[in-house]
Chains A and B, each alone.
Chain A
């Protein structure tokens, strides 16, 4: 079975910092990879789909890259509202399955 890992598991950063989060898959998953932002008490927010497609309404400071087994989420200039936990997520349709990474918590330095 495919497993997803993320690094780091947490990080502290300041407003204006550039933040990079890495997601790795144990097998080639092509570009079947999404990124979400999750804040306590709310449903997650889809930021990036298919590794690099920015969702409508998501600020352009968010970007995604990668394919195969290694993927990256970058926040170019961290804003106060970006402090949250970020998850990568692999999906497959045959059979139907989603797998989330363990998450990366971004908090204030």
Chain B
């Protein structure tokens, strides 16, 4: 079964760091670009970051550029998001997703990040 499972979310104080992980299964991970997308309940979806299959191309939303770092380990079928200098406005539900051609066709169930003192 094709599956993505996020972990690493939690409650963190402003200015601190958190590292999200996404474990992939059921497909050849190294063949796909991967992305992080977040959702604040009551607000819209926001693309956070993406990385191509070989880490050759990486992109970030302006709101997280310089603070978040995306990476992947193809041998371990894993995607990561290192989140530094967290702000209250980073509080959201974070999803990882697999990109096939244009769109993200497989999504995880999400993990919650709360930034609060």
Q: Is the pair A103, B108 in contact by a Cβ cutoff of 8 Å?
A: no
Binds B, one of A13-21, A31-39, A76-84: A31-39
Q: Is the pair A50, B45 in contact by a Cβ cutoff of 8 Å?
A: no
Q: Is the pair B107, A43 in contact by a Cβ cutoff of 8 Å?
A: yes
Contacts of A93 in B (CB 8 A): 57
Please encode chain B, from 75 to 109, with 1 for each CB lying within 8 Å of some chain A CB and 0 for all others.
00000000000000000000101000111110111
Chain B's interface size range is: 20 to 34
Q: Indicate whether A91 sits within 8 Å of B103 (C-beta atoms), given known contacts A43-B97, A96-B50, A96-B58.
A: yes
Contacts of A44 in B (CB 8 A): 37, 45, 95, 104, 107
Contacts of B37 in A (CB 8 A): 44, 98, 100
Contacts of B110 in A (CB 8 A): 41, 43
Q: Is the pair A36, B105 in contact by a Cβ cutoff of 8 Å?
A: no
Please encode chain A, from 82 to 109, with 1 for each CB lying within 8 Å of some chain B CB and 0 for all others.
0001010101010111111111000000
Q: Is B19 an interface residue (CB 8 A)?
A: no
Contacts of A46 in B (CB 8 A): 103-105
Q: Indicate whether A43 sits within 8 Å of B57 (C-beta atoms), given known contacts A100-B47, A102-B44.
A: no
Contacts of B57 in A (CB 8 A): 93, 95-96
Q: Is the pair B59, A49 in contact by a Cβ cutoff of 8 Å?
A: no
How far is B41's CA from A50's CA once the two chains are assembled, in angstroms? 27
Contacts of B52 in A (CB 8 A): 96
How far is B50's CA from A56's CA once the two chains are assembled, in angstroms? 24
- The residues of A with any CB-CB pair to B shorter than 8 Å are 32, 34, 36, 38, 40-46, 49-50, 55, 85, 87, 89, 91, 93, 95-103
The 9 closest A-B pairs by CB, nearest first: A43-B107, A96-B59, A98-B47, A34-B103, A49-B103, A103-B44, A46-B103, A49-B102, A100-B45
